[in-house]
Structure 1
Amino acid sequence: MPSDLNAPGLKTRPNRDGSRRLYWCARPDLVKAGYRPETVRLSYNLDAPDDRALIEAACLRLQAEMLEWSTGRRRGADAFDGTILGLSRRYQIDEASPFRRLKHNTRTKDTYTLILIEKAFGTRSLAALKIGDFYRWYEAAKKPKVPGGMERVRRAYGIIKKLRELFAFGIMAELPECRRLYEVLEHARFAQPARRRIAMELGHVEAFVAKAIDLERLSLALGTAIQFETALRQKDVIGEWEPIPKKQGASGILLNGRRWANGLTWSDLAADLVVRKATTKTGAFAAHDLKLCPLVLALLDRVPADRRVGPLILDETAGRPYAESAYGREWRIVARAAGVPDHVWNMDARAGAITEAEDAGADLDHIRSAAAHTQVSTTQRYSRGAVGKSRAVAELRLAHRAAKNGA
Structure 2
Amino acid sequence: MSSELNAPGLKRRKRKNGPDVGYWVARTDLVKAGYRPEIVRLPYGLDDPAQYALITATCMRLQAEMLEWSSGRGREKNCFDGTIRGLSRRYQVDEASPFRRIKHTTREKDVHVLRIIEKAFGDRALDALKLEDFWRWYNAAKRPKSPGGPERVRRAWGIMKKLREMVSYGVSAELACCARVKAILTEVRFPQPARRRVTLDLAHVEAFISMATEMDRLSLALATALQLDTALRQKDVIGEWEPIPAGDAATGIVLNGHCWVGGLTWADVVLDGITRKVTSKTGAIAAHDLTLCPHVQAVAAQIPVERRVGPLIVDEKAGRPYAGDAFGREWRVVARAAGIPDAVWNMDARAGAITEAEDAGADLDDTRAAAAHTQASTTARYSRGAVGKSRKVAALRIASRGVKNGA
Report the TM-score when normalising by structure 2. 0.85
Match of 1:14 in 2: none
Report the Cα distance in structure 2 between the residues aligned to 1:38 and 1:136, rounded to whole angstroms. Answer: 23
Matched, 1:84 2:95: no
Residues 268, 275 of structure 2: 8 Å contact kept: yes
Change beyond 3 A, Cα 1:271–1:334: closer
Report the Cα distance in structure 2 between the residues aligned to 1:241 and 1:193, rounded to whole angstroms. Answer: 29
Match of 2:144 in 1: 144
Secondary structure, aligned partner of 1:260? strand
Report the Cα distance in structure 1 between the residues aligned to 2:127 and 2:121, rounded to whole angstroms. Answer: 14
How far 1:69 moved relative to its partner? 2.1
Q: Give me the identity figure in percent.
A: 65
Matched, 1:178 2:178: yes
Q: How many equivalent pairs are there?
A: 368
Change beyond 3 A, Cα 1:153–1:271: closer
Q: How does 1:361-376 map to 2 (within 5 A)?
A: 361-376=361-376
Larger deviation, residues 70-79 vs 81-90? 70-79
Secondary structure, aligned partner of 1:80? coil
Instruction: Report Cα offsets for 1:321-374 as digits up to 9, x if no partner.
Output: 000111111111111111101111111000000000110111111100000000
Change beyond 3 A, Cα 1:189–1:91: same
Secondary structure, aligned partner of 2:183? helix
Q: How does 1:228-307 map to 2 (within 5 A)?
A: 228-270=228-270, 272-307=272-307
Q: How does 1:182-261 map to 2 (within 5 A)?
A: 182-261=182-261
Q: Which amino acid aligns with 1:330?
A: E
Report the Cα distance in structure 2 between the residues aligned to 1:36 and 1:273, rounded to whole angstroms. Answer: 51
Q: Which amino acid aligns with 1:76?
A: E
Change beyond 3 A, Cα 1:340–1:24: farther
Secondary structure, aligned partner of 1:347? helix
Report the Cα distance in structure 1 between the residues aligned to 2:37 and 2:301, rounded to whole angstroms. Answer: 43
Q: Which amino acid aligns with 1:100?
A: R
Residues 229, 293 of structure 1: 8 Å contact kept: yes
Report the Cα distance in structure 2 between the residues aligned to 1:277 and 1:65, rounded to whole angstroms. Answer: 48
Q: Which amino acid aligns with 1:357?
A: A
Residues 36, 92 of structure 1: 8 Å contact kept: no
CA RMSD across the alignment: 2.6
Larger deviation, residues 61-70 vs 211-220? 61-70
Q: How does 1:107-122 map to 2 (within 5 A)?
A: 107-122=107-122
Match of 1:123 in 2: 123
Change beyond 3 A, Cα 1:204–1:7: farther
Q: Which runs of 5+ in 1 are unaligned?
A: 1-5, 9-22, 43-59
Larger deviation, residues 178-187 vs 244-253? 244-253
Secondary structure, aligned partner of 1:74? helix
Match of 1:27 among 26, 29, 33: 29
Q: Which amino acid aligns with 1:141?
A: A
Match of 2:13 in 1: none
Residues 199, 351 of structure 1: 8 Å contact kept: yes
How far 1:207 moved relative to its partner? 1.0
Change beyond 3 A, Cα 1:336–1:38: farther
How far 1:27 moved relative to its partner? 3.4
Match of 1:332 in 2: 332
Report the Cα distance in structure 2 between the residues aligned to 1:309 and 1:71, rounded to whole angstroms. Answer: 50
Matched, 1:155 2:167: no
Q: Which amino acid aligns with 2:29?
A: R
Residues 26, 63 of structure 1: 8 Å contact kept: no
Report the TM-score when normalising by structure 1. 0.85
Match of 2:96 in 1: 96
How far 1:273 moved relative to its partner? 4.2
Q: Which amino acid aligns with 1:209?
A: I
Report the Cα distance in structure 2 between the residues aligned to 1:38 and 1:225, rounded to whole angstroms. Answer: 43
Q: Which amino acid aligns with 1:27?
A: D
Instruction: Report Cα offsets for 1:100-137 as digits up to 9, x if no partner.
Output: 11111111121111111011111112122111111111
Instruction: Report Cα offsets for 1:244-287 as digits up to 9, x if no partner.
Output: 23443101101111100000000011363421011000111101
Change beyond 3 A, Cα 1:345–1:95: same
Larger deviation, residues 268-277 vs 200-209? 268-277
Instruction: Report Cα offsets for 1:80-105 as digits up to 9, x if no partner.
Output: 11111111000000111111111111
